[in-house]
Amino acid sequence: MSVKLETFTAERPCAGCTHLLKLADEIEKKYEGKVEVIRHIGSCEEFEKYELTIVPAVVLNEGKIKIMNVCPSLKTLETALKEMGV
């Protein structure tokens, strides 16, 4: 079973949002088949569902881990993935 990693960025992305999208690409390639990466750009239903308040944001496995208002480092994302069993 793969881990779901969802990114949330602004429609007009700030520097943090742009970097988060690049990290998402890197995670997708590095953990192919183990991590499902979903990118949300601009407003969406899921933003409210996960009770997010600001972007950039990352949500893993339906909200088990949430990171908001900062673009996490690759190491932070990989640590979160390990917490989810990857």
Per-position pLDDT tens, the chain of length 86: 689 999 999 999 899 999 999 999 999 999 999 999 999 999 999 999 999 999 999 999 999 999 999 999 999 999 999 999 99
The CATH classification number of 3-83 equals 3.40.30.10
The neighbour count for residue 17, using CB atoms within 10 Å, is: 19
pLDDT at residue 13, as a whole number: 87
- Give the Cα separation of 43 and 26 in Å (integer): 24
* Domain ranges, ordered by start, for the chain: 3-83
Which residues on adjacent β-strands are paired with residue 66? 59
